[in-house]
Amino acid sequence: MTTNAFESNPAPSAASTRSHPSHIPSLDGIRAVSFLIVFLSHAGLKGMVPGYFGLSVFFFLSGYLITTLLRLEFDQHKNISLKQFYLRRAFRILPPFYLVLIVAYLLTGLGAWREGSLSAPAVTSQLLHYVNYYIIQHGWWEGIAPGTWVYWSLAVEEHFYLLFPLIYLWLRKRGCSSRQQAVVLIGLCALVLAWRCFLVFVMDAPKDRLYIASDTRVDSILAGCLLAVWQNPVIDRQAISDRRLGLLWLPVGAVMVLVSLVIRRPDFEQSFRYTLQSFGLLPLFIAAIRWHDRLPFRWLNTGVAKYLGVLSYAMYLTHTTVIWGVDDRVKLPDAVRAVLSLVIVIAVSTLIHRLVERPFAKLRRRFGSREA
C-alpha cells in the first residue's frame, strides 16, 4: 500500500523477470484489487466485502517490495544505506500523508462536516505515527478528523520499518543464508501469533487491541518479507515447478484464505485469521507474478488495473474522507453515493499523484537509490 517502489510492467518470461527485477508484473493490479476491497467495505458493504483481507494484502505487498529492495541493495553493495532507506521512505510516504491529513484537519476545523472535532492529543498521534495506540486507548472518534481513521495502518508500517531494516542488515552481515533468514522470519511470525493468542484467550483483549496494534499485526508484513528472502519469484530460481504450484500450493493457499474468511468466531478472527491470510498469500503472489500472462492473473496487468495500482496509496489516504463527506452531504441511494465517492477519489488521487508524488519521486531518485 505505502510503497510503489517498482513499476509492475509485464515481462515476457520468468527469465527476463529475473534479469530485470525492477519490473514486477501483476503487483500494481494487486494493489488496485486490494484497494477496491477496502473501498467497498468502507462504502457500505462491510458485511459482504472483507475489508480486513484487502488490508492484509496491502501489508504483505509492502513487506515483499521493501525487503526485495533491501535484498537487491545488499547483494550489489554488501551493505545497506539506512540513511538512504529512510530518506526514500520519507520522500515516498510523507508528502501525500501530511497533505491529506492537513486538508482533513482544515475541513473539520472549518465545520465542513455536521460531526467531527479535533483534539491536540489525537492530532499529535497522527502526525507522529502512533494513532493506532491512541485509538486503542480513546476510541475511533475522539478528536480525530472524520475519515482519517485509516492512518492507523500506516502507523503499523512505520513502526515496522523503523526496526526491520536493522534486523535484516544484521542477518545479512552475519552471513545468514536465505533459508536461515526465512527461519528467523517464520519464528517472528510465530511469536506474534503466540502473543495474539495470549491476548485473546488469556487476557480477553478487545477486538481493536488485536486488529490495529503494531505488535499484533506485523506478521502480515513479515510474511511478505519472507517471500522476498526465500523463493522470491523475481530473483530466485524457481524451485517450485509450475505443476506443483498449480496443483498443490496454489489450492492450499486459496483454501487457507477461504477458511480465514468463512470462520466468524471472534476468538478465531482475532488470533489465527491473520496468520492464515498472510501465509495463504505466499503461493498466490508467486502465481500472480510467474503467470502474469495467464488468466485470471492477466487482468491484473491491464492498463486500468495498473493505473489504479499506481494511485492506490493516494486513494487509500483519501477514500474514507471522501466517503464521509459524500455521505454527510449527498442524499442519494447508497450505491450512487459509492460510485460518486469512487469517482471523486480517483480524480483527487490523480491530482495528488501528478502534483505531489511525481515531483517527490524525482527528488527521491536525485538523492540516490543504491539498489537501482
Which one, of 48, 41, 46, 106, lies nearest residue 325 by Cα? 106
Say if residue 313's pLDDT is above 90.
yes
Which one is predicted more confidently, 187 or 328? 187
Q: By the 8 A CB rule, do 296 and 26 touch?
A: no
pLDDT given for residue 186 in this prediction: 97
Q: Which residues, at least 6 apart from 19, have a Cβ–Cβ distance to it below 8 Å?
A: none
Burial 303-342 (b: 16+ CB within 10 A, else e): eebbbbbbbbbbbbbbbbbbbbbbbeeeeeeeeebbeebb
pLDDT in tens, 36-49: 999 999 988 877 88
Phi, psi of 308 (to 5 degrees): -65, -35
Say if residue 84's pLDDT is above 70.
yes
Domain extent for 326: 16-365
Q: By the 8 A CB rule, do 147 and 106 touch?
A: no
Question: What is the spatial distance between Cα 252 and Cα 275, in angstroms, rounded to a whole number?
Answer: 14
Mean pLDDT on 186-214: 95
Please state, as a whole number, how many other Cβ atoms lie within 10 Å of the Cβ of residue 80. Answer: 21
Cis peptide before 296 (omega within 30 of 0): yes
Q: Do the domain assignments include residue 285?
A: yes
Q: Do the domain assignments include residue 120?
A: yes
Q: Do the domain assignments include residue 11?
A: no
Question: What is the spatial distance between Cα 114 and Cα 337, in angstroms, rounded to a whole number?
Answer: 18
Question: What is the spatial distance between Cα 153 and Cα 94, in angstroms, rounded to a whole number?
Answer: 14
Q: Do the domain assignments include residue 3?
A: no
Q: Do the domain assignments include residue 9?
A: no
Q: How confident is the model at residue 296 (pLDDT cuts 50, 70, 90)?
A: confident
Q: Do the domain assignments include residue 349?
A: yes
Which one is predicted more confidently, 104 or 367? 104
Which one is predicted more confidently, 14 or 49? 49
To the nearest whole number, what is the mean pLDDT of the chain?
89
Q: Which residues, at least 6 apart from 59, have a Cβ–Cβ distance to it below 8 Å?
A: 1, 153, 156, 157, 217, 220, 221, 224, 278
Q: What is the pTM of this model?
A: 0.90
Q: Do the domain assignments include residue 1?
A: no
38, three cell numbers: 477496502
Q: Do the domain assignments include residue 198?
A: yes
Mean pLDDT on 114-125: 89
Counting the structural domains of the chain, the total is 1
Q: How confident is the model at residue 13 (pLDDT cuts 50, 70, 90)?
A: very low
